Amino acid sequence: MTQKEPKNIALIDCPRDAMQGIKPFIPTELKVRFIQSLLEIGFHTLDCGSFVSPRAIPQMKDTGAVIDQLDLEGITTKLLVIIANYRGAKDAVQYDKISYLGFPFSISETFQLRNTNATREEAFDRIREIQDLVVEHNKQLVVYFSMCFGNPYGDLWHPDIITYWARRFRDIGVKIISLSDTIGIGNPEIIGRTVTAMNKTFSDVHFGVHLHTRPDTWKEKVLAAYDHGCHRFDGALKGYGGCPMAQDELVGNMPTENLISFFNEKKMFNYRRSALNKAMDIAQEIY
């Protein structure tokens, strides 16, 4: 399957995903300098922080302070933060600079229980409440389907399960869903089947992919998603971050610089090269 009509690609860079696993605390001023440089590149969205318990993710405890110091004058890139419960959502919606709140929902029941101590149905009810709050504050909710391309627990997986949950979220007003390969096991065939199912089933849901990858398999995964109709892609500069559960030290986030090069060659993504170079230099300081 190939694209018939070229359209712009939405690239989302995820410094939050890259930084949250680093144990030494990254100074707030350095985070601000890094995220400000990313804002100049031309991304659709930056996943820039999270409002979760500092006990769970201590690296992100200064997200509010970071956002307060960002200069969004003349910037078209939107800010997204991750939340894990209603309390975090209440904190996040107070920030005018934030446009999107992201919530992880697992296609795997086992992972949902391990990750949030809740079943999928209980998590769905939580998200319904958060969706109402988000709408009230003129923001949008992005639901991440973790374990979207399979799981290590033996839980049932099929594209029909993905579209079943996507339909339920669509029906409560969620318009953006990100298909997340939590442990990097999605191969091109599975990615293609899942993206095709979403593309054929929904015309009123914006969906994207948040892929984890080894350095030598990134392109085939991007092609599989793109060729089957996906136009929204998450990444992180230099491929840092990802899920430690992958049990493969070579599996990290999709390198954003690879996505930029791939889609710029197709004339589907324009960016400021000098801003990217600056951000890459600061990333080297952080990582």
Domain coordinates in residue numbering, the chain: 10-286
E strand segments, the chain: 10-13, 45-51, 78-83, 98-106, 140-146, 176-180, 206-210, 212-213, 232-235, 252-253
pLDDT digits (tens, 9 = 90+) for 115-126: 888 999 999 999
Instruction: Please report which confidence band the pLDDT of residue 103 belongs to, taking 50, 70 and 90 as the band edges.
Output: very high
Whether residue 4 is predicted with pLDDT greater than 50 in this model: the reply is: no
**What's the confidence (pLDDT) of residue 243?**
62
Whether residue 247 is predicted with pLDDT greater than 90 in this model: the reply is: no
CATH 3.40.50.150 describes domain 10-286: no
Instruction: Please report which confidence band the pLDDT of residue 113 belongs to, taking 50, 70 and 90 as the band edges.
Output: very high
Whether residue 248 is predicted with pLDDT greater than 50 in this model: the reply is: yes
**What's the confidence (pLDDT) of residue 91?**
98
Tokens 């493969």 locate to 248
Distance from C-alpha of 250 to C-alpha of 212, rounded to nearest angstrom: 10
Q: How many CB atoms lie within 10 A of CB 186?
A: 25
Name the residue with higher pLDDT: 6 or 272: 272
| Mean pLDDT score across all residues of the chain | 93
pLDDT digits (tens, 9 = 90+) for 7-30: 689 999 999 999 998 999 999 999
pLDDT digits (tens, 9 = 90+) for 182-222: 889 999 999 999 999 999 999 999 999 999 998 999 999 99
HEC sequence for 130-143: HHHHHHHCCCEEEE
Tokens 């065939």 locate to 189
Distance from C-alpha of 101 to C-alpha of 220, rounded to nearest angstrom: 29
**What's the confidence (pLDDT) of residue 241?**
83
**What's the confidence (pLDDT) of residue 7?**
64
Instruction: Please report which confidence band the pLDDT of residue 2 belongs to, taking 50, 70 and 90 as the band edges.
Output: very low
Name the residue with higher pLDDT: 241 or 223: 223
Please give the average per-residue pLDDT across 41-64, as a whole number.
96
Whether residue 1 is predicted with pLDDT greater than 60 in this model: the reply is: no
HEC sequence for 123-179: HHHHHHHHHHHHHHCCCEEEEEEECCCCCCCCCCCCHHHHHHHHHHHHHCCCCEEEE
Q: Which helix (H) or strand (E) holds 32?
A: helix 28-39
Beta bridge partners of 206: 176
**What's the confidence (pLDDT) of residue 78?**
98
